[in-house]
Chain A
Amino acid sequence: DTGVSQDPRHKITKRGQNVTFRCDPISEHNRLYWYRQTLGQGPEFLTYFQNEAQLEKSRLLSDRFSAERPKGSFSTLEIQRTEQGDSAMYLCASSFEVEETQYFGPGTRLLVL
């Protein structure tokens, strides 16, 4: 296994369009996290899954954002009716519950025009 992968790596969209990002965690990892990073800032937590259950959502996650992990493997993050303020790097991380260390993917950079 080569690590956490994310697709696409870059996405440019027009304001008002919907976008969906995918994250494939390290295969034996049962926890999956989504973070958002804006320019010049550290990553901020968005949401977290243990297996297929979404256990926590940040107040940053407005109603336009939804995340799923239907079979406890890959996860998708959808943003509906994108706004320019959604422009950011979206990072996915995974961990194995007895290890407590999160490993990050390369991120998806979103630009909303």
Chain B
Amino acid sequence: GEDVEQSLFLSVREGDSSVINCTYTDSSSTYLYWYKQEPGAGLQLLTYIFSNMDMKQDQRLTVLLNKKDKHLSLRIADTQTGDSAIYFCAESKVADKLIFGTGTRLQVFP
């Protein structure tokens, strides 16, 4: 079946890099996404990667995909207090619903 798992919490010091990890089970997933959710708000699309890629970089964000191990990670460089939020990993097939993980709460301390 389809399942996406993430660790629940991550705490980092301001200015350090954060790495949020995700594993998924559906090898036929076509797209993998990272969304950010701040308290009481909807989900903000951060970035996504197509399953035939192994890396994507977008400013402070780097996504790494290991398709063999079904492992996805999001690295945030120079983490700021404004990055504190819940980060969701999600996967989908073409034109299909998103399957989300339970989210990783990132706390950034000064």
Contacts and interface: CB of A to CB of B under 8 A. Distances in A.
Interface of A: 4, 6, 31, 33, 35, 40-45, 48, 50, 56, 91, 93, 97, 100-107, 109
A43 B43 contact: yes
Tell me what chain B mostly uses at the interface: helix, strand, loop, or mixed.
Answer: strand
Nearest to B97: A45
Interface residues of B, number: 24
Nearest to A41: B102
B42 A104 contact: yes
15 contacts: A41-B102, A42-B4, A43-B98, A45-B97, A45-B99, A91-B42, A91-B43, A100-B31, A100-B48, A102-B45, A103-B45, A104-B35, A104-B42, A105-B42, A106-B41
Most chain B CB within 10 A, of A41, A42, A50, A101, is at A42
B48 A107 contact: no
A104 B102 contact: no
A6 B44 CA distance: 15
A44 B31 contact: no
